[in-house]
Each structure stands twice: as C-alpha cells, then as structure tokens.
Structure 1
Amino acid sequence: MPSNFALKAMNTAHRALLKISLGKVGNEFSGMPSLELTTTGRKSGRPHAVMLTAPVVDGDTYVVVASRGGDPVHPAWFLNLRDNPDVVVSVRSGPKVPMTARVATGEERATLWPKVVDAYPTYGDYQKKTTRELPLVLLTPKN
C-alpha cells in the first residue's frame, strides 16, 4: 500500500509535470481526465488539494474512486468531503468550479463500478487488495 509520503510525492510530481509542460502533459492518464479536487480539512478547516483521475464522466458529473491504491483505510480527501461535501474541482487544468461531492448509492455503484473497471482495470485490482468497498464519489457542479 502506498505511504502518505509516496502519495504526496506523486501529487507533487503530477502538479510539477502540469506546470513544466504548461498543461500539455498530465491532464489525462490512461484515457481518464485528471482533476484537482480541493476539499476542506475536517479537522483543520483548511483547503487541501489532491490530483485524481475520473474514470467515468457523465455530462458535467465526474466519478472518482476513493481507492488509495487498495489500502485498508479511506484516503483523507474522502473523509474530508464526506464531512463537508462542498468542494472545488479543476478538470484538465481548467477553471476551478465549485461542486458538490456525494458518495454513490449502492444502486449507483452497482451500475458505475463495471464502467470504472472497464476504463481502468487496476481499480479492480485495488478492490481485491482490501476488504473495504472502494467508494465512488460523484462530483457535480453547484447550481
């Protein structure tokens, strides 16, 4: 399982790649759009940004997976948005958009999970590594 240090290093490298390439490299990974998700810290109240991919995009809704590489614990960003669903999202280095995050219902997950694994089979491998069900989070623009 990836350590906190490794996850932070990957996020830092991703942001650096985007900056150095002026957004030409790093806006997509394995056909999935990359996005920067900013949550509010559940303990600190401060903004926290993380780079993620969206294996499923349905109109203006982006689906992200709280996988943490198959770790047995949820990623911090998931715990933050679970406590405060008001988030900010920048897709493919685009403008920052206020959005609402919500965990997919069981029925939604049953429909979305095959699409997630089809887009990026490694998510299926992550699910096999852990006993927790990997949450799917739907990000939708605020009206």
Structure 2
Amino acid sequence: MTFDNPHGTRGARQPSANALMRFGNSMNIRRIRSKGGRGVMGMNVLVLTTVGAKTGQERSNPVAWFPGGDDDTWIISASAAGGPRNPAWYYNLAAHPDQVRIELDGQSIEVTAEQLHGEEREQAWAKIVAAAPRFGKYTTTTDRLIPVIRLRRREG
C-alpha cells in the first residue's frame, strides 16, 4: 500500500489553491452534500476528507470517482488536470491512508486508501479513461505517472 508517485517535470497549468479555487471547491462541496454526487461536466463526484500530512487538520476536496468493482470500493485519480505535481490531498492520503472519509449520496463513509500499481493500476486507468475520456488527455500533458487510488469501506 505504498504512495510513492514522484512529481513530473512538465504538465498542464496546475490548479492553484488561491481564494477563487477554494471558494469554488467549497461551493461544489456544499452542492454535493445537499444534492448528491453529480458534479461538474456530469461526472460522479464525492467529497474526499483527509487529514493534512503537515497540519493534522481535516481537509475536504471534491473529487471525481469511478466504480471500483463492488459496492464497497471507489476509484479516484490524482490527475491534477494533467499538472506536473500531485495534488495536496494525495500526500494527505499517503500520510494517513486509514484516516479518510468520503461523502457520497448523503452518506459519510469511513474508507482506507490504497494506491494501485502495475497491471491493477493499468486496468483501473483504462476504465477511468473509458468513462471520462478527458482524463486520457492528461497523460499527454504530463510526464508524471498519474496515481490511481482505490478507496475501500472500512469495517466496523
């Protein structure tokens, strides 16, 4: 269960954490919480809540999700829109993979995060690109291997 994806050297303009982006994310999170998980451009979106790797504070982000193969798993991608760096939430998952919560369809679900590698990652990535072709374009803009993460419902 290693989170070991390095930054790339090139990529699309990285979404910044400026005030406008934070405001947009908070509006999306509010809408997801009140109306369900249909997000921007028709994708399924969940609220991912992680514990900050440096601060220890909870951080929430809207993230596109894809079916993980059964009812207790969800697949997400740390694409950062094809940017050269992994999103901050990726490092939060790496630091605290067992302190993750998602909000989806009015439910708050405790999950464990696991980065996929090798063939398993390739199969999941192919499903992501089939469902959302714009994700496939991200691999042409960055030299970073885009992390694919499985979120699995925690027992108990």
SS at match of 2:49: strand
1:15 to 22, 25, 29: 29
Does residue 111 of structure 2 align to residue 91 of structure 1? no
Structure 1 runs, 4 residues or longer, greater than 3 Å off: 16-19, 29-32
- Structure with bigger strand share is 1
Partner secondary structure for residue 118 of structure 1? helix
- TM-score of the superposed pair, with normalisation by structure 2: 0.80
Task: Give the share of equivalent positions with the same residue, in percent.
Answer: 32
Aligned to 1:109: 121
| Count of residues in Structure 1 that have an aligned counterpart in Structure 2 | 138
Q: How high is the TM-score relative to the length of structure 1?
A: 0.87
Moved more, 131-140 or 1-10: 1-10
**Alignment-derived partner of residue 53 in structure 1:** 64
Q: 1:16 Cα shift?
A: 4.0
1:41 equivalent among 52, 58, 69: 52
* In 2, Cα distance between equivalents of 1:119 and 1:142: 26
Structure 1 gaps of 5+ residues are: none
**Greater relative CO (CA pairs within 8 A, separation 6+):** 2
**Residue 68 to residue 7, structure 1, CA distance change in 2 (3 Å):** farther
Q: List runs of 5+ in structure 2 lacking aligned partners.
A: 1-12
* Two-structure CA RMSD over aligned residues (Å): 1.8
Q: Distance in 1 between matches of 2:77 and 2:53?
A: 19
